[in-house]
Amino acid sequence: MDAQARAAAVRLMIFDVDGVLTDGQLWYTEQGEAAKAFSTVDGLGLRLLQTQGILTAIVTGRTSGAVAHRAKELGVTHLYQGIADKGAAFAQLCADAGFSADVCGYMGDDLIDLPVMRRCVFAVAPPQAVREVRKHAHLICQQPAGRGAAREACEFILRAQQRWDQALADYLL
């Protein structure tokens, strides 16, 4: 099955954070708080999926108030933070959302993401992902992590499902 056919099956798209929705850098304040920068372009991509009935989720190894705030702001329905075993979290997410792996997509960049990427129908990686992750990706984005890669994945899914024009309709009035 090619990447387009796989993307056409997606009903739940899951994203890692560091190295996917951000560029992977962590900036620490003097108080020890980590700051993250999120792309508005990527954020709109997640929203576009949602407008077309595709659920979005975040599964991340770190715990951050900034991620919780961003997920809420974007309307992400399922947020799993501080996850050391993403495979187990994926199984729980599928149970919580009522989906099987054959309708789930996942975008990750590092080794911790492989258990999910190897089980879902559509695996995506940003170009900076480690080699082992890129080997298991059905789509490797052209845009960098935290700067359009997630949006590229979202658009790819919507185009594969022939929903791109419908997603644009509200902006072309």
Select from 166, 142, 156 the least CA-distant residue to 13: 156
Domain-embedded: residue 11: yes
pLDDT of res. 173: 67
Domain-embedded: residue 132: yes
User: Given its phi and psi angles, is residue 82 left (phi above 0), alpha (psi -120 to 50 degrees) or beta?
Assistant: left
Select from 51, 18, 40 the least CA-distant residue to 157: 51
Domain-embedded: residue 106: yes
Q: b vs e for 125-144, b when ≥16 Cβ sit within 10 Å of the residue's Cβ?
A: bbebbeeebeeebbbbbebe
Domain-embedded: residue 153: yes
What is the CB neighbour count within 10 angstroms for residue 73?
11
Domain-embedded: residue 171: no
DSSP state of 170: G
pLDDT of res. 63: 93
What is the H or E stretch that residue 104 is in? strand 104-107
Q: Which residue ranges of the chain lie beneath pLDDT 70?
A: 173
- The CA R_g of the chain, rounded to the nearest whole Å, is 15
Distance of alpha carbon 118 from alpha carbon 133, whole angstroms: 9
pLDDT of res. 32: 77
Domain tally, the chain = 1
Distance of alpha carbon 18 from alpha carbon 10, whole angstroms: 22
pLDDT of res. 61: 95
Q: What is the pTM of this model?
A: 0.95
Domain-embedded: residue 89: yes
Domain-embedded: residue 111: yes
Distance of alpha carbon 153 from alpha carbon 106, whole angstroms: 10
Its domain, for residue 9, covers: 3-163
Domain-embedded: residue 27: yes
CATH number, domain with residue 73: 3.40.50.1000
pLDDT of res. 26: 84
Q: In this structure, what are the phi and psi dihedrals at residue 93, rounded to the nearest 5 degrees?
A: -60, -45
